[in-house]
């Protein structure tokens, strides 16, 4: 099956936590933590609402990265939600585990190659059928000293669907030897642009696709042993500051544009489709390498 929007959750989770380690590059051990919040948003305009408060934490060792995310949902007017819960909250907490890795190397001064891969599990309380996996590979071509193109293909697996998808991005890094300058990336799932005002301080803006698909609980009142998917776009800006070469902080504001919620049964057949209004959000993070 060709690329499917339903598989975006796997790609988003694993792409987010899969750095491409390069041959000969120093790969320190590191730990990180991030808190995030998405403001209250109406479901179907006036059919109840929810906000999300959560955190992500994890660690990196050479060629391997692990992360855990927990999102707590704060529901309002649950009795108005068209989810068949009779006024009860549809769910309280969602969990995501991700284990991933990536590697790249040069063929010559112009060409290079890369591979990425990983597995993830996103669930309410029962992990059965919650697992997904992704693998990608491709080539990079340096147009100039500052501009390069990456192209390739990948395959994603999930309990309810498998898919093939393209990989394509254009990357720019105009930072000089002093660390100052502009940088950015344009890909199929979004765009990012930033400027380094010093070796320690950077401002970054992005517009990216978002996606999550969770396995619902065995006894879920929404859909027993089913799945719920969120998809949409968000845009934001964040600041990154390296206090020392080892310790870094980041923080930013974003806006999650109108999103879509879909509910599937245990076989992956769509049962409900709901619109979610936009909402602002913010995040704060810290990382330490050693």
3-12, 71-80, 100-109, 219-228: segment of lowest average pLDDT: 3-12
Q: Can you give the residue ranges of every domain in the chain? A: 5-289
User: Whole-number mean pLDDT of the chain?
Assistant: 90
Higher local confidence (pLDDT), 55 or 84? 55
In the CATH hierarchy, which top-level class contains the domain 5-289? mainly beta
Spatial neighbors of 135 by CB under 8 A, at least 6 apart, are 115, 116, 117, 154, 155
* Cβ partners under 8 Å of residue 282, min gap 6: 36, 37, 251, 252, 253, 254
Tens of pLDDT, residues 7-25: 555 555 454 444 555 554 5
**CB contact set of 109 (below 8 Å; sequence gap of 6+):** 142
For residue 152, give the nearest of 163, 162, 164, 166 by alpha carbon. Answer: 166
User: Tokens standing for 201?
Assistant: 């301080």
d(Cα 87, Cα 82) in Å, to the nearest integer? Answer: 10
Residue 2: its pLDDT value, please? 42
Q: Quick one: what percent of the chain has pLDDT higher than 70?
A: 90
Could you read off the pLDDT of 192-218 as tens digits, one per residue? 999 999 999 999 999 999 988 899 999
């Amino acid at each position: 099956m060709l690329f499917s929007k339903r598989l975006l959750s796997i790609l988003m989770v694993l792409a987010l936590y899969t750095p491409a380690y390069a041959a000969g590059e120093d790969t320190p051990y590191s730990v990180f933590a991030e808190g995030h919040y998405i403001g209250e948003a109406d479901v179907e305009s006036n059919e109840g609402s929810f906000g999300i408060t959560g955190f992500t934490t994890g660690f990196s060792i050479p060629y391997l990265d692990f992360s855990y995310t927990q999102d707590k949902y704060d529901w309002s007017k649950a009795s108005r939600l068209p989810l068949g819960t009779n006024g009860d909250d549809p769910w309280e907490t969602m969990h995501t585990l991700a284990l991933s890795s990536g590697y790249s190397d040069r063929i010559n001064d112009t060409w290079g190659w890369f591979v990425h891969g990983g597995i993830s599990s996103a669930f309410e309380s029962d992990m059965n059928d919650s697992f997904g996996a992704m693998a990608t590979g491709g080539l990079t071509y340096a147009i100039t000293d500052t501009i390069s193109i990456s192209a390739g293909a990948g395959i994603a697996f999930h309990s309810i669907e498998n898919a093939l998808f393209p990989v394509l991005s254009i990357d720019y890094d105009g930072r000089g030897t002093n660390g100052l300058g502009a940088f950015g990336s344009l890909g199929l799932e979004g765009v990012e642009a930033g400027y380094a005002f010093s070796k320690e301080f950077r401002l970054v803006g992005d517009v990216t696709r978002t996606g999550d698909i969770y396995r619902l609980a065995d006894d879920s009142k929404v859909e027993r042993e089913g799945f719920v998917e969120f998809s949409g776009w968000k845009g934001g800006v964040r600041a990154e500051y390296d206090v020392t070469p080892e310790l870094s902080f980041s923080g930013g504001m974003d806006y999650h544009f109108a999103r879509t919620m879909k509910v599937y049964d245990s076989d992956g057949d769509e049962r409900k489709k709901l619109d979610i209004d936009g909402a602002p959000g913010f995040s704060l993070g810290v990382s330490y390498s050693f």
